[in-house]
Structure formats: C-alpha cells, structure tokens
Amino acid sequence: MYSTLTSLQRKRYLFVCINRRAEENPKGCCAAKESEEVHRALKGEVAARGLAKLEARVCTSSCLDQCATGVTVLVEPDHFFYGRVTVADVPEIVDGLVKGQPVKRLVVTADQHNGADGISDIEGKTAREAASECGQRASFKA
C-alpha cells in the first residue's frame, strides 16, 4: 500500500492563500487582491501542461501569515513563498515548476516575512497538515 501512496505524491504542492477579512481590517487579505483568480489560473495552467497528475497540485489555503506580501503562494516541500503574485505571473511560475527553478523576482525574502520563520504555521496547522487537507500526503524535508 505504501508504494501506491508514494506513486500518487506530487513533487510540489502550491498553497494559494484565499483568506478573506473584513475591509476595515488593517492586515488586508489575499482574497481582496484577486487570489481566487490566481488559484484558478494556476490550477488551469498546471492541468493544461499535463503536470497535475504527478508534478504539482494547486490548493487553496487560509491565511499564510504573509499578508504584507499577498497574494501569497506557499511552495512545498521547497519551503518558500511567492509574494505579490498576479494572474500574469502564472505562466512564469509554472515554467519554474517545469525547470525546477523558483521565479526569483517573486520569492519572498527573509526580511519580507511577517513571522519569524514564516512557514512553520498555517492558521495553526503545519504545512504537512495543510497538504493532508488538500487531499494528498506530501513528502517534507525534516
């Protein structure tokens, strides 16, 4: 059974924050910055290139605690964020998945992170738990 699960794992999981807050909230939210459109575009582009079955799965996420850099996409198991992502960035992000190279201009740097490590907690969940909710078991670096 383990080999079956292993064969179903994708190489990458992309979590797109679609969190929505009240307009008056000073943190803002990714949903107000068209994150749902980014999610749909990423999911469509990954599928159109035939990457959805083995290479990448695109999932929605609640707050990733990177509000200042939203629209935010967490890429696992690589442990990095893309920030200020727009629909226009989607083809370049998927090109990066194919090449195994992040899009450097979109990668959120350590000094831009809202949290200390920025990736250890997703609304009280670890990245592994978030991947599990996405419907897949993911392989993560320890």
What are the structural domains, with CATH classification, of the chain? 2-133 (3.40.30.10)
- The pLDDT confidence band at residue 112, using thresholds 50, 70 and 90, is confident
Q: What is the pLDDT of residue 6?
A: 53
CB of 72 closer than 8 Å to CB of 66: yes
Q: With H, G, I as helix, E, B as strand and everything else as coil, classify residue 14.
A: strand
Is the pLDDT at 8 greater than 80? The verdict is no
Q: CA–CA separation, 63 vs 31, rounded Å? A: 10
What is the rounded average pLDDT for all residues in the chain? 81
Least confident of 37-46, 105-114, 125-134: 125-134
Is the pLDDT at 1 greater than 90? The verdict is no
Is the pLDDT at 133 greater than 70? The verdict is no
Residues 6+ apart with CB under 8 A from 32: 20, 21, 23
Is the pLDDT at 122 greater than 50? The verdict is no
Helix crossing, 90-99 with 35-48: angle to 10°?
40
- Bridge partner list, 16: 60, 73
Q: What is the pLDDT of residue 137?
A: 40
Read off the pLDDT of residues 80-105 as tens digits, 9 standing for 90 and up. 999 999 999 999 999 999 999 999 99
Is the pLDDT at 12 greater than 90? The verdict is yes
Q: Which comes out higher in pLDDT, residue 34 or 120?
A: 34
Q: CA–CA separation, 41 vs 52, rounded Å? A: 13
Q: What is the pLDDT of residue 118?
A: 39
Categorise residue 125: left if φ over 0, alpha if ψ from -120 to 50, beta otherwise.
beta
- The pLDDT confidence band at residue 113, using thresholds 50, 70 and 90, is low
Helices (H) and strands (E) counted in the chain, each on its own, are 4, 4
